[in-house]
Structure 1
Amino acid sequence: MDATGADPLVGRVLDGRYRIESRVARGGMATVYVARDIRLDRVVAIKIMHAGLAADEDFVARFIGEAKAAAALSHPNVVAVYDQRTDGEHVFLVMEYVAGHTLRDALGSLGRLGPRAALEIMQPVLAALGAAHRAGLVHRDVKPENVLITEDGQVKVADFGLARAETASKMTKTGVIIGTVGYLAPEQVMTGDADVRSDVYAAGVMLFELLTGRLPHRGDTPLAVAFQHVNEKVPAPSSVVPGIPLRVDELVTDATSHDPDRRPRDANQYLAEVAEVFGGLPRDIDRRIEEASRTETSVLETPPMGPPAGGRTAVLDAATLPREYAPAAERTRADRAIGALTGRYVLVALGTVAAIILGWAVWYQTSGQYEHVPRSIVGMKLTDARDRLESSGLKVRTAKAVYDDRVHKGDVVKTDPAAGSRVASGATVTLTPSRGITPRKVPDVSGKSLPEAKQTLEDEGFKVGRTTSTPSQTVERDRVIGTDPDAGERRSPDEPVGIILSTGMSMPGLIGQDGDTAANRLRSMGLNVKVEKKKVDGKPSNSVVEQNPAEGEGVSRGDEVTLVVNKRDCLVDAGPIQWGCDDDGGEQSIPVPDLTGRRVDDAKKALEDSGFRVNVTGFGGDNVRFQSPRDGEAPRGSTVTIVRGP
């Protein structure tokens, strides 16, 4: 860990919530700190973008976008992204803090892993990448440094999506590619393009490194290494470490094909292939390869091998990987020569051979009687987990599903016995599937616009479901009426929440109705009514002959609507005559609309449009708190008093 005494961020509280406690590491793009979320009282990791990159708006935008995509991943083998924040010049991510060490640390101590150990650790790595690939996310930086091993042996993959943000930046950052050039697919070197098959290539390179203790391509400069990725194939691991089975070799060579179409289509297919090969390996193959490398006298037919370039030979026991590491003992050629010259060492060598033969006898008697519950089962789809266990000769029972905030609905939350445990062949393993994320209350988004409602639901962790529309006499057009399920009900965020959007009020059909009655009906709906007069022969006097909008169209309070009313005739005795009356109909009484609660300006206009004079009184507010007369009828042209208030 770096010294933190001189770091000005240590001790500071970012965004009023995250107190920086110590610095963990510094990379080409960001610095990682251990911090405490003082609101939730938990330890977190804070990844703060370097100031030079934070000044690049395009980079920051992509950084934030990829952080959101990474946060959407919910998988037990993925380091969770909790939050993304900005505090002044500091742009940072809040992530799950993983106490433990990296796979790079383990390789540094052990040199290399045996085939079973390597494939067992690759399975949770590929499960994590597979979850990302299903979500449409490309990691772009698969390497041992980004594989974390917790103190209790769980494998987690870090930095999902951040490499994409880095390579998308318009800035030229010297040295960014140096740390990862050893894992770049040929297409990344040639064009800069990458997809899920590029992650598969990097995973194949990492498997080669786990098996041999070194990278397949090495050179004095990053350019030299990149040139080899484009022009040379990744060799079979057995060319470095004799005794590695052909099917393990093929896992590496297929994944690192120069033609992306010849690789597994994504990490999920690669995981299935790795799991199949792993299931067919002898349980003691790692020990056999190790013993063959330690002595020239071997019970194996494969020739002895020495430690590969790049590290000491080391093998992990697959039953305990990755929690317990057992460094391989090394013997030099000089030791073996001395042993051949002295009887003492001859006796030791004979004793070693006898012990190996005895071990083989014990293994022969007990192999097939025991299995191990694979660690990769947790987070796997229930049907796939069942098939995997049953193919290993184990029986499977399914327990009642439980809610889990880290495992998707339908995937395995836990096993009994626990993952990694040794069980008798034919034993029963109980799988507990996830019901999804723990239910929480659906927020109230009524009255919001559709984008606002979606954002609120997403901020609360819910998926947004289907949007439906329906008329409403109380909710304005394009505003949310409610949700499905209703606000306040509890729903797992794994289940989508539908949004019900208002199309506004439905315009009634008024053709043929009395014009005054029709106009007042619309005003009572909060609409502003414009009345036009038009003489239409053959239609009743003062009846509505046209309307706009048409019947059934959506309208909202405050909208202006138009009625075309047939001019009225004044009748005396048998026929129409002009008897000194006009089209207003004299002192006709008309209904007074109740506008209490409406805005004063809107109410004044509605009353005037109805044919009333308006007297506004009161103070201190814009809404109608009292109206006289409030209802009933009053002569056209009479005065209606409205009192304003808050």
Structure 2
Amino acid sequence: MILRPGTFLQERYEILEQIGSGGMSNVFKALCHKLNRLVAIKLLKEEFSSDSGFVSKFKMEAQAAARLSHPNIVNIYDVVDEGNLHYIVMELIEGITLKNYISKKGCLDVKEAIGVAMQVAQGISAAHEQGIIHRDIKPQNIIIARDGKVKVADFGIARAATSQTLSATAVGSVHYISPEQARGGYSDVRSDIYSLGITMYEMVAGRVPFQGDNTVTVALAHLETPITPPSYYNEDIPVGLENIILKSTEKKPEYRYASMVEVIADLRHALVDPDGDFVHHNPQIDDSQTVIIGKPELEQIRSGRKVSSDRPSDVPGNRKKEQRNERRPERKQDAQMPAGRTKKEDSEEDINPKIEKLLTAAGILVAVIIVIVLLVVFAKIGGLFRSGSSKMPESTAEVSKEETLSDKSVKMPDVIGLAADIASQKLKNSGGLYMKTSDYVFSESVAEGDIVSQEPSAGTVVDKYSAVYVVISKGPEHITIDLSKLGLEKMDAATAKSTLEAKGLKVEVEQKSSDSVSNGYVISYSPFEAKEGETVTIVSSSGPALINPVTVPNITGQTRELAGELLADAGLAEGTITEAASETVPRGNVISQSSAAGTQLEAGSAVNYVVSTGTAQQSKYRYLASIDKSYSLQRIIGPGSGSTQLTLKIQLRQSVNGKDVIRELMGPVTMNGDQMLPVSFKNIEGAYGVTSGTVEIVNVETGEVIDSYSITFVPVPQS
């Protein structure tokens, strides 16, 4: 449901403008007339307001967050049910979301990222102390205020950590969701730590670790795919911060930090010792089933080759990390033997290699003897039958050579275009070849995770159990977005614009009249598919074609009096005029207008606008003065004044910041010379903080000040 500017809720909250939209609600900026302060109102969308389940969940958000009071958490003021409207009144934070901040900067400076992460962690830690888990930590829910304060918002799926909710299915954003939430399992404070770790990753790497065409792909990556160290994308990340991120984003909760207090402690350490080895990793005990090492693996171990590609070094960036090991601390491993091996198997392996070496030596000796005997026989046969059978030994030798190659060599299979796991298995089945990843590249033609190229190439004869280096596709550099699935036709232009910009698209909005589409809503858009960074054009309805159109003037920043004159000159009327405090717009000037300057309206239409009451301090007091005098015009005209007329006005003159400021108290009026001019005003409002002024009678025709009176202003509390 969209609330129009000027709408009042509970005869208290005046809607000023819409400032955001989410999956369940729309967010509006409003003025609380009771407390004279700006607030944010989060209104449940119309399609959900009739669903008791959604309404209950919406209220639960407020009840959870209202219990919290912390400098790094957005405050909740009120929860209201008004007919079919369900909304929350909360603190208005003037600033930018962390998501937009990252988009603008690309990557955050390391100290800046640590500072933001510490404030977020402190806010979440306060919630954890109250038994509340956020479950939806992401940059979109983190706001950076203009003063640099960082606040966590939108406890949209927060629940008290009770026995009734610990196993509830989590519904957080998929790019930041923890593995246990993705599988619908147990969620606790460590789930928030994982999401914070992904958020820190995005701050320093400029991207999330897992991306995909759909939510299922990303969720599975959180469950199964090893995380790429952020230093793969940004080499300037210090060891300490990277280790904090890697520990926070461990797949298993027991390997992560146990609490936000521990995260904060390590973040503080990272500020003073960025490359230190201070992150203590929990012991990672492998509880997998016993793995029996076969002959190909034994051959690899004996020949000194590394085993198989199913190692963390195959993850993008881990090879690069190995090159930086001089400054990267290594994690302590619990065991030196291959994962899953038993002691019995190790004792057997200690004996078997010796026996196998003896058998191998004996086999080689027998083979040498057989070859010598064959050579002697072939030589004799060649001497007796050289003329008729000279090709026989050569043919036999070629066969023998081919048989020898088949025992030690294999023809390289073609794995280009195959998924990495399938390619790895195919290579293993072809003579024990094992796959190593040499690089990851963007590709428009090869799907993400598939093989782009291989070395050696297909058909090449290679040794068994040797390495095959492959390049794996990262998919298209910019994913194509199907705009038809976003439902833009049902949105107003502002919501559609924010939706597209959130997906990394540029937006241009054009106006067009329409008899069938409501004013402000989307008529059409183009193209229907676009990639990140491309421009989408939205055609917005300006309502039915105007019979007598006029152009709206720009009254923002103008005084209230001048705003009225500009509207009148344009053929428009003043609509609802409201007041609001402003730190930037001077008292008495226009802050905003309901219809944008340059747009077309029907002549005679009303334009609403908001007038500044000055700063919050200024809005508490008014400086008032009064005067009750009269002036005889005979004093300046003399005898015969009854037949003489003068045009006069009365004005107030004050010195504000060293400059004369003049404000008209009474407009020009024509009077006879024998009349008395009343100079009587009960409440003259002066400039804020200025205690003196002069009331002047001015001859309009000559500009001469005929007489003046000094007055004193006193501060009076606002009613």
Give the TM-score band, short-chain normalised: 0.3 to 0.5
The TM-score normalised by the length of structure 1 is: 0.40
TM-score (norm 2): 0.36
Higher-RCO chain (CA-CA 8 Å, sequence separation at least 6) = 1
